[in-house]
Amino acid sequence: MKKNKKEVTIYDLAKELNYSPSTISRALNNHKSISKKTTKEIQKVAKKMGYRPNTIAASLRSNKTKTIGIMIARINRPFISSLISGAENTARKAGYNILISQSNDKYENEVSNAKALYDSRIGGLIVSLAMETKNLDHFKLFIDQNIPIVFVDRVPLEFNSYRVIIDNYSAGFRATQHLIDQGCKRIAHFAGAQHLNIYNLRKKGYLDALKENGLEVDEELIMDLETMSFEEGKEATDQLLNMDNPPDGIFSSNDTAAVSAILCAKEKGIKIPEELAIIGFNDDPISSIVEPALSTISHPAMKMGEISAQKILEHSVKKLDSNISEITMLDTEVIVRNSSNRQK
């Protein structure tokens, strides 16, 4: 049986080049105390001998790695994949890697994932909370060790941390106002889990837009969807359209449920947008593919990921207090497509 090749260490390099191990270490880390000529020589020989830096040993010394953990609900959602991409691009430029875990919107999974990432000695954590999450105790481990946490999109109200969000209230108001401007009088709302700030604020925006325009708030038109899934959206739409006085507009808190509303209405022979105008939220790729194309609210996922990673990098460099509270709020816009546009 062929033996595994022995791992090359800084001591092997020191013996080969006749330098002290400390000089080798500093040169490999481009320390300014070592001349450029010596650094170049050592790095050239290290590459030739197949030296690899021992990141595990380094993390044991510092108790952290150059790794950012990302905890998200569902990796297959376009918004989430764009957010991860933005974070990964920023992290990579700074020499950091990322570790991704998904909770599938389950609280117990999120707790387990948090422990696994903590045990991996990550240098920072980006979190979009699971639908079920109400208790945040599993994040205290990171705060106690001054590991920065950036909550993004689905964020807690009372937890000192970095938060990267959009103005969900304003977006919900403008989405509803758009339907009112198209002539809608009975507007239904697909509301997500109300303990999550994003869905609570979108609903408040919806309610205030109705009140400001003198329209009645009908609780039967507000559908509480636990996961905002395609199946839930279809079931809710079917229930709404079977009412004696069905809605003439739907504002959905995500695009997934909004697309299912379009398909369900079409199956029933309802004309969109003439009889039912629909607007979603997120601007997922499917929103421009479905027929008619879905009006929606832009959601700058890539930018949110970039900023989240940047906050962790800045925190690490500045060695800031873990008890920090900072909110970054990004703009959104109403994207009008054929599912709601009656003013053609």
Between CA 66 and CA 99 the distance in angstroms is: 11
Pick the closest to residue 332 from 168, 126, 117 (CA basis): 168
Arch. (CATH architecture) of 64-165+301-330: 3-Layer(aba) Sandwich (3.40)
The CATH class given to the 168-299 domain equals: alpha beta
The size of the chain, in residues, is: 344
The average pLDDT across 63-75 equals: 86
Q: What are the pLDDT digits (tens) for 291-336?
A: 999 999 999 999 999 999 999 999 877 765 666 788 999 999 999 9
Between CA 131 and CA 136 the distance in angstroms is: 13
Check residue 57 and give its pLDDT.
55
Q: What are the pLDDT digits (tens) for 184-195?
A: 999 999 999 998
Crossing angle for the helix pair 168-181 and 197-212, to the nearest 10 degrees = 40
pTM to 2 decimal places: 0.78
Work out the pLDDT band at 182, boundaries 50, 70, 90: very high
Q: Contact, 67 vs 98, CB < 8 A?
A: yes
Check residue 1 and give its pLDDT.
40
Work out the pLDDT band at 20, boundaries 50, 70, 90: confident
Check residue 5 and give its pLDDT.
56
Structure tokens at 301: 């996922």
Q: Is the pLDDT of residue 81 over 90?
A: yes
Structure tokens at 326: 């900072």
Structure tokens at 210: 């109705």
Give the torsion sign (CA, 257, 189, 156, 94).
positive
Q: Where does CATH 1.10.260 sit in the chain?
A: 10-53
Check residue 333 and give its pLDDT.
96
CATH code at 10-53: 1.10.260
Q: Where does CATH 3.40.50.2300 sit in the chain?
A: 64-165+301-330, 168-299
Work out the pLDDT band at 2, boundaries 50, 70, 90: very low
